[in-house]
Amino acid sequence: MNIIICGAGEVGFNIARLLSDEKNNITIIDHDEKRIEQVSSKLDVRTLIGYASHPNILKEAEADKSDMIIAVTQSDEINMISCQIAQALFSVPIKIARVRSEAYNMEEWRSLFDTGLFSIDALISPEQEVAKSFTRLVAIPGAKDLISFDDDLVRLIEINLGEDCPVINTPLNLSKFFII
C-alpha cells in the first residue's frame, strides 16, 4: 500500500516504522526539519518537509497514488484539513485523523464527522481511548488487559491464574464455539 503519514512526532514515527516493516510504501510529512532528519536516518521511508494541509505538499507526496492518509500531527485542525484535501483533490480512499481536543469530541458535535461534512473515515482520540481502556479494565477485577471486538459484544481478557487454579491445563473444546 502507498500510505502518507502526516506528522513525524513519536506517534507518526512509530506508525511509519510498523507500516514500513510490513513492506508498505510510506511517505512521512512534517514541517519540522529536525524531526524529518531523525525519521529519514532511522527508517526506509520517503520524507517531505512541509505542512500536510497544503495541497502542493500532498501533491508532492503523490496523494493521487495513495491508498491511505494518516494525519497525526500535533494540530487537530491540520489533521482534519489534511484529510479533507486528500479526499477533495486527490480522492485518497482511506483517511484517518487524530483529533485530541474535547471540543471536537463532545457528543453534540460528533455529527460533524458522521454526516460526511469532513472526509475522515476514522477518528482517533488518544485520551478517549485511554479512558475507555481504563474503564473496561476496572469493570473486570483482576484483568491485566482487555481487547473489545464488535462494539464490546466480544471481549478478550488477559488474567493471571495461580498455580492452584483448577482450570489450568484443562483443554478447550473449541468445536462448541467454532465450526471446524
- Dump pLDDT digits (tens) for 115-174: 667 778 888 876 666 566 666 666 677 777 777 777 777 777 777 777 888 778 777 666
Total-model pTM:
0.73
3-class secondary structure, 142: coil
Cell 495541497 sits on residue: 55
Q: Which three cell numbers stand for residue 36?
A: 524529518
Q: In this structure, what are the phi and psi dihedrals at residue 4, rounded to the nearest 5 degrees?
A: -105, 130
Q: Which residue has the higher pLDDT, 119 or 44?
A: 44
Neighbours of 24 (CB within 10 A): 15
- Tell me the per-residue pLDDT of 78-112, one tens digit each, with 9 for 90 and over: 999 999 999 999 999 999 999 888 777 777 776 67
Q: Residue 20 has what pLDDT? A: 93
Q: Return the beta strands (E) in 15-161 as ranges.
A: 25-30, 46-49, 68-71, 94-98, 122-124, 143-149, 154-159
Higher pLDDT, 179 or 125: 125
Q: Give exposure, 62-86, as e/b (b: 16+ Cβ within 10 Å).
A: ebeebebbbbbbebbebbbbbbbbb
- Structural domains of the chain, with CATH: 2-124 (3.40.50.720), 130-176 (no CATH)
Which pLDDT score, from 0 to 100, does residue 56 have?
98
The answer to whether residues 98 and 124 touch, using CB atoms and an 8 Å cutoff, is: yes
String of b and e for 133-157 (b: at least 16 CB within 10 Å)? Answer: eeebbeeeeeeeebeeeeeeeeeee
